[in-house]
A and B are shown apart, each in its own frame.
Chain A
Amino acid sequence: MLSKSQAKAFFLIGTVGFSLIFVGLTVDTFQRIPEQTNQKNMTAEVVRGKHLFEQKNCMGCHTILGEGAYYAPELTKVFERRGEAFIKAMLKDPDSMYPGQRRMTNYNFSDEEISDLTAFLKWIGTLDLNGFPPKPDLVRSASPTATGDTSLEQVVLKTEDRPLVFNQMCVACHSLNGQGGTVGPALDNIGSQRDITYLTKWLKDPMAIKPGTTMPKLPLSEEDIAELSAFLSSLKGSR
């Protein structure tokens, strides 16, 4: 059995040795970070966004690179998931975006601050994170649904036929084919209930049609609205 002095030697040699290895790896890591993180795209805007992200303690609710608190969504890929317009609208007026849901503090950001934060989130999405966040892998191997004619795989593939803005913004609150949020009503049958003219007007300004509605007026372009109302009016309950 070890004597006390041998045990002490084991502690000292192990600690010093592994500390040195760790410092060496740290030096190597810092040399590799610029390439792995697209540091060349880290503009002054991105840096300002990073500091603003810190100043408002965003990771006190959200996670970024998987780090933070677990009260609000992961933001690493939020630029890809929700798109610029949604992020900007959310930062401008968080209370209107998810009515009746978990709340985000309204920080009264200026337009410049909003574009800094958006630039930061866009850059974060381009980092090579060794595979994080993972793509959902259970959906593709799920068995056909009860109706028998549609496998979940096809449902997933079908999302590619939708307007991009639908997949980024609308699904944050509404669902189609059972995918998406549950804040607003499902949209599977919206085309049978409302026609294209109504939908166009509705998307332009929901409050004008139904005062008191919790649906926010979203930052949509004319083209977005035309594309969306055409798509929505085609949804007549069929899968």
Chain B
Amino acid sequence: MKYSSQRVAYWFFAVCMLLFSLQLVYGFLMGFAHIGYDGLHDLIPFNVARSTHTNLLVMWLLAGFMGAAYYIIPEEADREIISIKWAYVQLIAFVIVGVTAIVGFHFEWWEGRKFLEIPRPLDYLVVVDVLLFIGLIGGTIWKGHRYTTTSIVLFFGLLTAALLYLPGMINTDHQTHDSYWRWWVVHLWVEGVWELIMGAIMAYLLIKLTGVDREIIEKWLYIIVGFTFLSGILGTGHHYYYIGTPRYWLMIGGVFSALEPLAFLGMAIYALAMAKKGGKSSTNRTALLWTLGTAVMSFVGAGFLGFAHTLPQVNLYTHGTLVTAMHGHLAFWGAYACLVLAIITYSMPYLTGRKLADTSTNIFAFWTSNIGMVSMTIAFGVAGIAQVYLERKMGLDFLLVQKEIEVHFFGLILAASLFTIGIIAFVYNFIRFGAPVGEVRGAE
């Protein structure tokens, strides 16, 4: 690595590995509950497992984005992070707030609002922590010697992600208002500003891994994030079809969310094209593999499978069924989880000074987890489609349908086991890298 303060990224990535592993445990709890093995019901009821599972995901992805920013920004801005001490304070505060939230869920200390379950007092601490983070990153860019498109897009993405956390804190007495603002956070994050973060991290990885000229990669970065917002902002409308909002959202949401896959398609084509164009024989081929995996799987999961049920005529039947879980799993995996694993794979050799990125363990982790996740998606998809036809089209009772589709949850657990083997391999490889004692090369 170039600057010693980049080292803080390692600890964010270590937090990622820990929270991700825990997320899988809660996933299994829910999978087993679906096939009737709910032995832990009195201790960890489904709603606790569910909130923990999704919030752990959000937390470890945010930890990954933060780690990525601490690694990338010093190199892009050409200077150390303005205060390394405060960066560690920010890390520790983040972990404390996160762990408190997760433990609190088990004692019903939460807000029962899908994805935003963190209770209000902790919300304020999240805001303070993220402001500190934004300050450190922004200050580093500001005081740095240069402003690159990659760092500006990354900073803009992180800043707007922080700002968009606020609508989720609006108090409402009305279920429709509640839902309306909730999607400002959730949708505008994952189908909006998180894609800026994703685009910037991918641009950085492609610049480093393919050796293609920065100007070309960054020009495409603008076009792709431009498409993201062009479609994604009004695409929020696909959450406003059936919650008590006006009918015009059916048209607006339908048209604009149908355009959303274009940004992901653009990203996939661009990543593959740059990888092909790059003449440089990469020293870290597995990081490139994870990067291209992100590009392709985000298109399949977020773009294609999202499109599959986004039109109002289809969504009328699939809304609130397991079809959503199918899309959700592959979308988050492809667009964000793979991306964080890519930047980890890229940066670890520099952070630790060990050349363990291109090991067979990591390559095994890539293929096993991807095949596992695609199989999980298929299991969710079959269960979801069966549910749509039996419950929504034929009017069978909910529990009766759940019995009918139990077998697909058995398949889901098998697929999830394969996925878990892949992730265990990745975590094992992470541990083998050892402590962040990599050599600091200093500014050139």
Whether A65 touches B244, Cβ cut-off 8 Å, given contacts A47-B173, A60-B50, A183-B399, is: yes
- Kindly report which residue of chain A lies nearest to residue B34, judged by CB atoms: A71
A103 to chain B, nearest CB (A): 5
Asked whether any CB of chain A lies closer than 8 Å to the CB of B321, the reply is: yes
**Alpha-carbon distance A4/B153, docked complex (angstroms):** 14
Q: Secondary structure at chain B's binding surface: helix, strand, loop or mixed?
A: helix
Chain B interface residue count, Cβ-Cβ cutoff 8 angstroms: 73
Nearest residue, chain B, Cβ from A104: B45
Asked whether, in the complex, the Cβ of B233 is within 8 Å of the Cβ of A171, the reply is no
When C-beta atoms are compared, the residue in chain B nearest to A29 turns out to be: B245
Q: Are A14 and B395 in contact (CB under 8 A)?
A: no
User: How long is the Cα–Cα vector from A198 to B110 in the complex, in angstroms?
Assistant: 48
B246 touches A70 (CB 8 A): no
Per the bound structure, the CA–CA distance linking A58 and B50 in Å amounts to 11
Alpha-carbon distance between A124 and B398 when the two chains are bound, in angstroms: 19
Is A231 engaged at the interface, CB distance under 8 Å to the other chain? no
Q: Tell me whether B246 and A7 are in contact (CB under 8 A).
A: no
Q: Is the CB of B226 within 8 A of A4?
A: no
Whole-angstrom distance between the Cβ of B416 and the nearest chain A Cβ: 16
| A60 with B47, Cβ < 8 A, contacts A7-B223, A15-B229, A37-B176 known | yes
- Given A63-B320, A67-B179, A103-B400 contact (CB < 8 Å): no
Interface 9-residue window, one of B200-208, B340-348, B386-394: B386-394
Q: Which residues of B contact A183 (CB under 8 A)?
A: 399
Given A29-B246, A33-B176 in contact, is the A4-B222 Cβ separation under 8 Å?
yes
Whether A7 contacts B226 by the Cβ 8 Å rule is yes
With A29-B245, A181-B400, A182-B400: A11-B46 Cβ-Cβ less than 8 Å: no
Residues of B within 8 A of A4 (CB): 149, 215, 218-219, 222
Q: Could you tell me the distance in whole angstroms from the C-beta of B350 to the nearest C-beta in chain A?
A: 28
B439 at the interface (CB under 8 A from A): no
Q: Please pick, from B117, B173, B242, B316, the residue contacting A42 in the complex, using a CB distance under 8 A.
A: B173
- B243–A67 touching, CB < 8 Å: yes
Taking Cβ atoms with an 8 Å cutoff, the residues of B that contact A are 30, 33-34, 36, 38, 41, 45-48, 50-51, 108, 110-114, 117, 149, 173-180, 215, 218-220, 222-223, 225-226, 229-230, 233-234, 236, 240-250, 252, 316-317, 319-322, 324-325, 387, 389, 392-395, 397-400, 402-403
- Known A-B contacts: A11-B225, A124-B175. Give 15 more (CB < 8 A): A8-B222, A21-B234, A29-B249, A30-B177, A39-B174, A60-B46, A67-B114, A67-B179, A68-B114, A70-B321, A72-B398, A102-B402, A129-B243, A132-B242, A136-B394
Jot down 14 A-B pairs with beta carbons below 8 A, ordered by A. A25-B248, A25-B252, A37-B174, A37-B244, A42-B174, A50-B173, A55-B108, A57-B108, A60-B47, A70-B320, A98-B399, A102-B33, A180-B397, A183-B399
